[in-house]
Chains A and B, each alone.
Chain A
């Protein structure tokens, strides 16, 4: 589904990612862990198409296509979804309009009939239950006045509405209390199918107790320095990132 080959990425002339290789197959969950500043969020944002990240070499093939050639909106419509670490507040854009537009852009792209307002609302109410979303939130402007936890839930709620092939969760657990964490994890798990895949970017092992990964990668200083099964997350939790730093000669 996704193949990243020897990816180098710079931001404002500073090299952040230094040769990333990653292979994600349908049905898999990959966790990308690493200390702060290792490049985890950069990787997530590059996949979504954020422009200030400059790919200096390497390639990303998504479903047989050169992903780097695609605009962010086209990536989204082809099934890539980034759950933002810091969801943006957009005063004046009502949630419902935003969600309906996004869903209908996806439907148009797939050649399906656009939802009417009534059809959309019905669908939305169902997904609200999945994420235990308070209905009043969808009456507000996008993320406006949402608590940290509500913002993160709202990201997974959008994921439920858009049903991506590849979900990328960028530090979705940060700022969540344990109940919200469980709800979010439940949402992510409920959305799993044998055809879609998830990349979970996280600093802590905590989320991985609820979203169990098939593969865990440790990103350090712009490179994946360790890849293994889910047991690696536990080992990291126990030994801390200093273990990785020492192994990599710092």
Chain B
């Protein structure tokens, strides 16, 4: 009984907070964002902070993550440092249109974006909602607040994040790189809301990097909606490299029209608790979705990847490969749902999840789920949870390679299948190196920032 009360209290804490800050949330925000808050809030109240009874959160207990008294960042705060100066990307030859996001807010003084092709807009969501609301007509259409309490909570609190618009037939040669920094003087809760609209025939690569700048506890709850027009192409790379006291909750929705291709690749290198929700809707014939993911976790870290691909039209292709390396007492989960709707004939949908457990105390839960309402489809799924292949290990050792190095080679080999899917070459080389360092147990910072935060 007391546990139930506690859980109810936890959700109450967040609902109470909403009532306290309602004015603050609507202040300065466009009607587009404000008009969704009440409904989203009601949906959140209905669902509450997810418990393990929620089938979709069965393997990720979020209750402890929501318990601390976080500082909420509902207003844009001035940063003391110039992020343009503080950040020096040390990835050689990685030339990008670079923008920063600070505690969920699009940084006002982004000066590293460079020259974008004509018509492309990379801006603050808050600003676009106020100044060009017509570009946000589809806001909150993908991110359904009734289906997920985290999305409901995000929509309730949403004020800013990044906005990207790419007009018809525009190819952006250089990747767009968005770097999320978390830094507050105490434990903090950040909400980030992003919106991406890629028109017909456009071609974009995006690189998202998540970092923390000090050792406080953080909970970041982000939602990203991406609309991909007909024959448009998107590569979306996400690099999660935070610390053991961070909770990173990410919900990404991608809606694809005919002949479009989208490839997402998520690398979880470091973080206390990471939950990635990734939902695709293939809403036009011949659309192709590739979902790749890899995670390297140790100590008491937890990573949960939850994917859903809805094949809503015939002749689409989806392919998922997720790989995890779990050390110490770390825990992982993967749930992948493929839903082929009625009449989505000639669907090809594949899914694979392979896991390498380095200790007896690491655990992995993996759950494929196929819902198929059409009769002419090719679907497959497979999952493995295992240890390093002892035969292969002996083979390497018998050639003079010591046990530790041989294991490392095998782990790198395991991750290689996902790493090689990175088409931006300098990024691939860098991630390859980071993964190698991570597997060696060396702290792998993605960049050399000026803070020396030791996190």
Name A residues whose Cβ lies closer than 8 Å to a Cβ of B: 48-51, 71-73, 75-77, 81-82, 84, 87-93, 97-98, 101-102, 105-106, 109, 141-142, 158, 162
Q: Which of B389, B398, B401, B406 has the most CB of A within 10 A?
A: B398
Beta-carbon contacts under 8 Å, B365-405 to A: 389, 391-392, 394-403, 405
Please judge, given known A-B contacts A84-B395, A87-B395, A90-B392, whether A162 and B400 are in contact too, CB under 8 Å.
Answer: yes
Could you tell me how many residues of chain B have their Cβ less than 8 Å away from some Cβ of chain A?
23
Smallest Cβ distance from B408 to chain A, in angstroms?
10
**A105:B413 contact, CB within 8 angstroms:** no
Instruction: Let me know if B414 is at the binding interface, CB within 8 A.
Output: yes
Question: With a CB–CB cut-off of 8 A, which chain A residues contact B392?
Answer: 88-90
Q: Which of A73, A77, A88, A158 has the most CB of B within 10 A?
A: A73
**B396:A109 contact, CB within 8 angstroms:** no
Smallest Cβ distance from B416 to chain A, in angstroms?
4
Instruction: Let me know if B409 is at the binding interface, CB within 8 A.
Output: yes
Instruction: Let me know if B417 is at the binding interface, CB within 8 A.
Output: yes
Question: With a CB–CB cut-off of 8 A, which chain A residues contact B417?
Answer: 91-92
**B400:A76 contact, CB within 8 angstroms:** yes
Give the docked Cα–Cα distance between A106 and B402 (Å). Answer: 11
Question: With a CB–CB cut-off of 8 A, which chain A residues contact B412?
Answer: 92-93
A-B contact pairs, 17 of them (CB 8 A): A71-B397, A75-B398, A76-B400, A81-B398, A84-B395, A88-B389, A88-B394, A90-B413, A93-B396, A93-B409, A93-B412, A97-B409, A98-B401, A101-B401, A106-B400, A141-B413, A162-B399
Give the docked Cα–Cα distance between A87 and B389 (Å). Answer: 13
**A73:B401 contact, CB within 8 angstroms:** yes
Give the docked Cα–Cα distance between A71 and B412 (Å). Answer: 23
Instruction: Let me know if B449 is at the binding interface, CB within 8 A.
Output: no
Which among B405, B410, B415 is the interface contact of A90 at CB below 8 angstroms? Answer: B410
**A76:B398 contact, CB within 8 angstroms:** yes
Question: With a CB–CB cut-off of 8 A, which chain A residues contact B403?
Answer: 71, 73
Question: With a CB–CB cut-off of 8 A, which chain B residues contact A81?
Answer: 398
Which among B389, B400, B405, B414 is the interface contact of A109 at CB below 8 angstroms? Answer: B400
Question: With a CB–CB cut-off of 8 A, which chain B residues contact A50?
Answer: 394
Majority-rule SS of B interface residues: helix
Give the docked Cα–Cα distance between A105 and B403 (Å). Answer: 12
**A76:B414 contact, CB within 8 angstroms:** no
Give the docked Cα–Cα distance between A4 and B34 (Å). Answer: 83
**A88:B395 contact, CB within 8 angstroms:** yes
Which among B395, B400, B410 is the interface contact of A105 at CB below 8 angstroms? Answer: B400
Q: Encode B305-335 as 1/0 by CB contact (under 8 A) with A.
A: 0000000000000000000000000000000
Which among B401, B410, B414, B416 is the interface contact of A102 at CB below 8 angstroms? Answer: B401
**A101:B398 contact, CB within 8 angstroms:** no
**B400:A90 contact, CB within 8 angstroms:** no
Other A-B pairs beyond A71-B403, A91-B417, 17, CB < 8 Å: A49-B398, A73-B397, A73-B398, A76-B397, A88-B395, A90-B392, A90-B395, A92-B412, A92-B413, A92-B415, A93-B412, A93-B413, A98-B396, A98-B399, A101-B409, A105-B402, A141-B413
Give the docked Cα–Cα distance between A142 and B401 (Å). Answer: 14
Question: With a CB–CB cut-off of 8 A, which chain A residues contact B399?
Answer: 73, 76, 98, 102, 105, 158, 162
Smallest Cβ distance from B431 to chain A, in angstroms?
15
Question: With a CB–CB cut-off of 8 A, which chain A residues contact B389?
Answer: 88, 90
Please judge, given known A-B contacts A72-B394, A84-B395, A97-B409, whether A92 and B416 are in contact too, CB under 8 Å.
Answer: yes
Question: With a CB–CB cut-off of 8 A, which chain B residues contact A51?
Answer: 394
Can you list the 5 inter-chain pairs with the closest CB atoms, starting with the nearest?
Answer: A92-B413, A76-B400, A92-B416, A102-B399, A72-B397
CB-nearest residue of chain B to A82? B398
Q: Encode B51-71 as 1/0 by CB contact (under 8 A) with A.
A: 000000000000000000000
Give the docked Cα–Cα distance between A91 and B401 (Å). Answer: 17
Give the docked Cα–Cα distance between A91 and B398 (Å). Answer: 18
Give the docked Cα–Cα distance between A158 and B399 (Å). Answer: 8
Q: Which of A49, A76, A77, A90 has the most CB of B within 10 A?
A: A90
**A88:B413 contact, CB within 8 angstroms:** no
Give the docked Cα–Cα distance between A101 and B413 (Å). Answer: 14
CB-nearest residue of chain A to B414? A92
Please judge, given known A-B contacts A101-B409, A141-B413, whether A90 and B396 are in contact too, CB under 8 Å.
Answer: yes
